[in-house]
Chains A and B, each alone.
Chain A
Amino acid sequence: MALRERPCAEAIFRQDKIWARSEGAMPDWCQGVKVVKTMKMIKVMILSLMATATFAAESVNETLDAAADGNVKISNVSGSIEVNGWSRSQVEVTGELGRDVEELIFKRDGDEVTIKVKLPRGSSRSSSAELVINVPEASSVQVNTVSADIDISDVQGEQRLESVSGEITTTVYGAEVDAASVSGDLEISGDNQTTKAKLHTVSGDIDVENLSGEISTESVSGSISTINGAFTRASGNTINGDIVFHVGLLDGGRMDFETINGTVDVDFGGDVSARIDIETFNGDIRNCFGPESVRTSKYAPGRELSFTEGGGSGRVTINTLNGNVRLCK
């Protein structure tokens, strides 16, 4: 919030009033402030819930005009966030704020709309907000939560989604997606357009369907599954999680999979042209096509499999410590 709006906002906050949107209803101690003059560019709404006010949940239903392809930044702690793209050039927020929510900030600054659920410092984790947010479909969206689930649909712009334990579900349409969580699962669907995806969790599972282009997936103990698509670059890394990639490798493309204890299951779903190098310390290697694996050395454990398939234009490497590897096409 710009510096000059602060005193006005704070005065309202202290007076325990909810500031209505229409300029006519603005309290007169704010008249001197520049907020009125800049209303066209910066619209600020603060729904403030003082501790002395009612403890019941508060409903939200507010709309702001917005750029057709701007950025929408959303931040929440617990509850849920649902974002839907629509054809209007407006951002609409509806939903409910829990009793401990201090404020919901909903503001526009040029091309950027911000929606932020603010809790008092040291508040209990059970203060939640359940919000449904409609955004212009060409928007790019950035969502950050702690435990709230994130559910996105029909958003065509870039998506940056981060949660600690909330589940993240979204569909992508050719724009980049970067999703990360600690324990929440990631569920990403595409419509087979080329895109770039970066999906990292600590223990959440990663499930991807119908994506193409470039993908990087990583988890410590979550499982990774990517099916239906074709990639120029694909990588999967885990310590314990199983890795499944049933996708095509495009000409000259590269796939790298590495896990310590998980299994790796790669199936190209058809012909492939690549140089393939697989190595495990304690795992088995099962190859559906081409040569069988061999012991790395006579006196030590370890198996490896290196061969060229098709024209050898791409490159596939798979390394595991204890996990089994299965390769098919």
Chain B
Amino acid sequence: MNENDDNTFDDELMARAAKLATEVKPDRDLWPAIEQAIGEPVRPNRSVWNSVWAQAAAVVLLVGGSSSITYMAVSDGGDPILPIAGTQTLVFEPVSGSFGSQYNLGPDYQDARRGLVAKVDDELENLAPETREDVVKNLDTIRQAINDINKALAEEPDNVLLQELLLDTYRYELSLMNKVDGITRAAMRRGDI
């Protein structure tokens, strides 16, 4: 087989490849499985909803047990509360000192936390979009868990399990925020020898 034949055949090959159908109908309808998978989440995980959830839960704590149901009913149908500072992340104010002296989420922790949240919000911009999305989603997951636990604690302030879980979850949040901080600093260092 000489060179020329090979070249001609190769060109023919590429021409044929371009002719292959790019659209192929699957043998069966795949929509039902997709519909089921996307219908599943009970809590939509888009940030606007999360903000509503966070703000509502925070107010529940401040207003007190008996009024909480009324408040939730009102906010359910109302306008969504816009995320603070236009970021995608959940923002909320943990209430300190209400749940027993078992653990300490006092003013010092809250100050430090506020500072770190703001810093991380800036740093999130430097992450690759997919990673940023993943981190934001997971931060929201953690904050949603904090809200869930706070809600339960509002009913049972003396529950030791809830207190321990809450403390550990705050630690998760701190650890993830520190991790974002670490990644951004490492990325900034990367250019050096």
Interface residues of chain A, those whose CB is within 8 Å of chain B, are 1, 75, 77, 105, 118-121, 125, 144, 146-147, 164-165, 182-183, 202-203, 220-221, 237, 239-240, 258, 260-261, 279-281, 296, 300, 302, 319, 321-322
Task: Report how far A222 CA is from B52 CA in the complex, Å.
Answer: 25
Contact A321 B149 (CB under 8 A): yes
- Of residues 144 through 191 on chain B, the ones whose CB sits less than 8 Å from some CB of chain A are 145, 148-149, 152, 155-156, 159, 161-162, 164-165, 168-169, 172, 176, 179, 183, 186-187, 190-191
Contact B131 A183 (CB under 8 A): yes
Task: Report how far A296 CA is from B168 CA in the complex, Å.
Answer: 21
Interface size class of B (residues with CB under 8 A): 20 to 34
Shortest B130–chain A CB gap in Å is 7
Contact B161 A281 (CB under 8 A): yes
Contact A220 B152 (CB under 8 A): no
4 closest A-B pairs by CB: A260-B145, A220-B138, A121-B191, A183-B134
Complex partner residue of B135 from A202, A239, A296, CB under 8 angstroms: A202
Residue of A nearest to B155 (CB): A300
27 example contacts (A-B, Cβ-Cβ < 8 A) are as follows A1-B193, A77-B190, A105-B193, A119-B191, A144-B186, A147-B128, A164-B183, A182-B135, A182-B179, A202-B135, A202-B138, A203-B134, A220-B138, A237-B168, A239-B145, A240-B141, A260-B145, A260-B148, A261-B145, A279-B161, A280-B161, A281-B159, A281-B165, A302-B159, A321-B148, A321-B162, A322-B148
Task: Report how far A240 CA is from B187 CA in the complex, Å.
Answer: 28
Does B81 make an interface contact (CB < 8 A)? no
Residue of B nearest to A258 (CB): B168
Shortest B66–chain A CB gap in Å is 17
Shortest B189–chain A CB gap in Å is 10
Residue of B nearest to A301 (CB): B152
Task: Report how far A280 CA is from B165 CA in the complex, Å.
Answer: 10
Contact B179 A202 (CB under 8 A): yes
- Of residues 107 through 155 on chain B, the ones whose CB sits less than 8 Å from some CB of chain A are 127-128, 130-131, 134-135, 137-138, 141-142, 145, 148-149, 152, 155
Contact B155 A146 (CB under 8 A): no
A125-B128, A146-B128, A300-B155 known; A221-B161 Cβ under 8 A: no
A-B contact count (CB 8 A): 89
Task: Report how far A261 CA is from B42 CA in the complex, Å.
Answer: 13
Shortest A143–chain B CB gap in Å is 13
Interface residues of chain B, those whose CB is within 8 Å of chain A, are 127-128, 130-131, 134-135, 137-138, 141-142, 145, 148-149, 152, 155-156, 159, 161-162, 164-165, 168-169, 172, 176, 179, 183, 186-187, 190-191, 193
Residues of B within 8 A of A119 (CB): 190-191
Complex partner residue of A319 from B130, B164, B186, B187, CB under 8 angstroms: B164
Task: Report how far A67 CA is from B164 CA in the complex, Å.
Answer: 48
Shortest A10–chain B CB gap in Å is 10
Contact B176 A220 (CB under 8 A): yes
Contact A202 B148 (CB under 8 A): no
Residues of A within 8 A of B164 (CB): 319
Contact B169 A260 (CB under 8 A): yes
Residue of A nearest to B161 (CB): A279
Residues of A within 8 A of B152 (CB): 281, 321
Residue of B nearest to A322 (CB): B148
Residues of B within 8 A of A220 (CB): 138, 141-142, 172, 176
Residues of A within 8 A of B135 (CB): 182, 202
Which interface residue of B138, B152, B168 has the most chain A CB atoms within 10 A? B138
Residue of B nearest to A222 (CB): B138
Task: Report how far A280 CA is from B161 CA in the complex, Å.
Answer: 8
Residues of A within 8 A of B127 (CB): 164
Residue of B nearest to A1 (CB): B193
Contact A321 B134 (CB under 8 A): no
Shortest A205–chain B CB gap in Å is 13
Residues of B within 8 A of A279 (CB): 161
Contact A118 B193 (CB under 8 A): yes
Complex partner residue of B137 from A118, A165, A203, CB under 8 angstroms: A203
